[in-house]
Structure 1
Amino acid sequence: MGMQSFLKFTLFLLVACEVKTPLRTPIFDNKSGKQELTVPFDGSVVISRYEIMEGELDANENSLSPIEISNNIRTKNSILYIDISGIPKTNKKQYSIKATTSIGTFYSEPFVYDEDMKKFVLRRAYKPRQFHERYLIHILIGGGILIAIGVVVYAINRRSTKKAIDEESL
Structure 2
Amino acid sequence: MRSTPQGSAALGLTEMGEIKQQLAEEAAADAAMDARAKPEAAATVAAAAAAGVQPGAATPASAGRSDTTRVALAPGEGAEVKVVASKDVKIAFDWSVEGGVVNYDTHADAPGISYHGYGKGKGSAREQGTLVAAFDGKHGWFWRNRGTAPVTVVLKTQGAYSEIKRVV
**TM superposition score category, shorter chain reference:** under 0.3
Q: Give the number of the structure with larger relative contact order, counting CA–CA contacts within 8 Å between residues 6 or more apart.
A: 2
Q: Which has the higher strand share?
A: 2
Higher helix share: 1
Q: Under a length normalisation based on structure 2, what TM-score does the superposition of the two structures give?
A: 0.26
TM-score computed with the length of structure 1 as normaliser: 0.26
Tell which structure's C-alpha radius of gyration is larger: 1
